[in-house]
């Protein structure tokens, strides 16, 4: 199976805060791993690898999907790293998470896979669907879908909704108004190191 299904808290301890992967916070102060925190200075390769792993685990991507998105980002004019983040942030599963309709990206992915989500009044079951400005996101008019979303909305993963999205909590609908700006990306990472990691392979 290409997607990670192992212990998520362990990944979060090793790589830092991953808001899309898990909401729990560990009480342990030492780093994850057999030897805990190491005093040895990390190599340039390990720094790039760590940034890549953050991106991969936070958005729930396989290596193949990440490489594909890097290739798409390189073809677009502008900073490859920022365009890559924008592509990943505009995925349907991430958009649902950022609207506060799901507590994590895996929970949002499940909503999409189980056909609870409508985009422009049409059922979309593909998590990697790229949302575009003007898209309206709503919930299927079924009691089970509505109850699930209401339960999720009581425990949002992130408090702030990005400026390119708007949500109507009464109607359980959301709208994409534009492309996300770099400063609204919740994940703390250096995207240039990720581009460097793949350019040297």
Q: Tens digit of pLDDT for each residue in 82-134?
A: 999 999 999 999 999 999 899 889 899 999 999 999 999 999 999 999 999 99
Indicate if the pLDDT at residue 170 is higher than 50.
yes
For domain 8-85+188-199, give the CATH number: 1.10.1050.10
Domains 8-85+188-199 and 91-178 share a fold: no
- What pLDDT does residue 113 have? 93
Q: Which residues are CB-contacts of 39 (< 8 A; sequence separation ≥ 6)?
A: none
Q: For residue 188, what pLDDT band results from cuts at 50, 70 and 90? A: confident
What are the angstrom distances between the C-alpha of 54 and each of 6, 14, 48, 65? 15, 10, 10, 14
What CATH architecture is 91-178?
A: Roll (3.10)
Sign, Cα dihedral of 82, 96, 53, 186: positive
Domain boundaries, the chain: 8-85+188-199, 91-178
- What pLDDT does residue 1 have? 37
- What pLDDT does residue 109 have? 92
- What pLDDT does residue 155 have? 76
């Amino acid at each position: 199976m290409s997607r990670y299904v192992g212990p998520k808290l362990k990944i979060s301890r090793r790589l830092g805060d991953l808001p899309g992967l898990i909401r729990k916070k560990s009480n342990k102060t030492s780093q994850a791993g057999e030897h805990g925190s190491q005093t040895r200075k990390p190599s340039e390769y390990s720094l790039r690898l760590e940034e890549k792993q953050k991106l991969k685990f936070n958005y729930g991507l396989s290596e193949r999907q990440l490489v594909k998105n890097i290739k798409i980002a390189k073809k677009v004019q502008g900073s490859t790293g920022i365009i890559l983040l924008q592509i990943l942030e505009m995925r349907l599963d991430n958009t649902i998470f950022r609207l506060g309709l799901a507590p994590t990206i895996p929970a949002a992915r499940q909503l999409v896979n189980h056909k609870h989500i409508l985009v422009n009044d049409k059922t979309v079951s593909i998590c990697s669907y790229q949302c575009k400005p003007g898209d309206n996101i709503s919930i299927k008019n079924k009691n089970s879908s509505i109850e699930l979303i209401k339960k999720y909305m009581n425990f949002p993963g992130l408090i702030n909704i990005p400026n390119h999205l708007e949500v109507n909590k009464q109607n359980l609908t959301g709208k994409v108004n534009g492309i996300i700006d770099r400063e609204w990306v919740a994940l703390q990472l250096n995207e240039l190191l990720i581009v460097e990691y793949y350019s040297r392979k």
